[in-house]
Amino acid sequence: MLEEREKERASRQYGRPSVGGPFSLTTHEGKPFTEKDLEGKWSLVYFGFANCPDICPAELDKMTSVVNTVQKEHGDIFLPVFITVDPSRDLPHRIGRYLEDFHPSFVGLYGDYDATKAACKKYRVYFSTPPNADPNGDYLVDHSIFVYLMDPNGQFIEAFGQATSAEDVVTKINETIQEWEKETGRKV
């Protein structure tokens, strides 16, 4: 029965974009973090930068609202993740300070330019930070604006754009959790 459910679930994944996969970054607390660290909890993953004047803070506020709402119903089953697309300026201490304004369980990730670019490629994230950006420079970073929902197996479920409300994200998450628990026979 479980095998049949897994086959059915896999067939629904067919035709979906390949999002996520192997990456190796470092947390804002200096610990190694890979795609394996997403396993065991539901994850919301966002790519942005700490100097962002408006869009990134609004999206992280939305993620905070979503995580708070989902936690009330399901408990501590979510890991909100922020991955910087500005590796020249967003060093660990800066990311840590930036994330203090949002949900306390946020994990901030950074890496050098190549590691950042590799993680972005896995999630199909566009970003415009030049590889030799001046860390003291005053520049903005153009980047994709999506919040990625990943299941407890680290598999991509959905990408939510900027226009998606927190309420709509919560509704989709609740539906997805219920479906996933029914299909897998597991709870997180």
Nearest to 138 by CA among 51, 50, 75, 37: 51
Distances (CA, A) of 58 to 30, 65, 136, 164: 26, 11, 24, 12
CB 83 within 8 A of CB 47: yes
Residues annotated within the binding site are 52, 56, 143
Max distance between CA atoms of the chain, in angstroms, equals: 58
Residues annotated within the binding site for Cu cation are 52, 56, 143
